[in-house]
Structure 1
Amino acid sequence: MSEPFRPYERLVEITIFGKKFQVPEKNSVLRCFQYISPETVPYGRFCWNQDCQYCRIMCQLPDDDQPREMLSCKFIVMPGMAITDISQELKWCLRAKLPTASAVSR
């Protein structure tokens, strides 16, 4: 089995619902979610190629004034990014890692 992550030299810090995580640089945000929760994200209903829209997130980038909506399978992680909302599918996959206020039931 091949390594799912692009080559990286360091981990960068991001926040998801205010909780800090260290994730590999040079990878899509969805791959970083997989790094955070390798036992659930690979089994989510994600196409990994921008078609399904199940990986949609709302994110505040360090240099932006307002949060923006994006597909986590397409966007490369940036140090300091703050993810303020995620799709129901991502909430389900990341439920064990997220603050309890952001948890979802299926």
Structure 2
Amino acid sequence: MSAPAPLFRPYSRLVRITLLNRPFEVPEDNHLLRCLQFLAPEPISYGRFCWNEECQECRVSFDMGEGTPVRNALACKLIVEDGMRLSGITAELRYCLRDLKL
């Protein structure tokens, strides 16, 4: 039996994101949904996420700072960037992140 794959892509630092007006630090070069799992390991693991664009349960709205356009994306496919500001998340994400008191 082979060893399980690592949960996160390799990273050398944490980047700052803002999630519904609260700052957090997450691993760089990882998909946003995986970064949210970094913040809430068990609840995200048990969430109703397909991790491959099918379910649409990980939709988010985000921008990259003042004066930048708000964009919509799927957290399972969006690579996190320093300064990312999430302004909207689905009910499923909100439920899974409830312990963060967003």
Q: Same fold (TM over 0.5)?
A: yes
Report whether the alignment pairs 1:81 with 2:81.
no
Report whether the alignment pairs 1:9 with 2:12.
yes
Deviations 1:7-47 (A, max 9, x none): 10100000001101010000000000000000210110000
State the identity %: 45
Q: How much has 1:69 moved relative to structure 2?
A: 0.7
Gap change, CA 1:37 and 1:74, over 3 Å in 2: same
Letter in 1 for 2:41: P
Corresponding residue pairs, total: 99
Letter in 2 for 1:72: A
Give the SS at the match of 2:99. coil
Equivalent in the alignment of 1:40: 43
Letter in 1 for 2:56: Q
Runs of 5+ in structure 2 lacking a partner? none
2:55 pairs with one of 52, 57, 79 = 52
Question: What's the TM-score, normalizing by structure 1?
Answer: 0.88
Question: What's the TM-score, normalizing by structure 2?
Answer: 0.91
Runs ≥4 in structure 1, deviation > 3 angstroms?
A: none
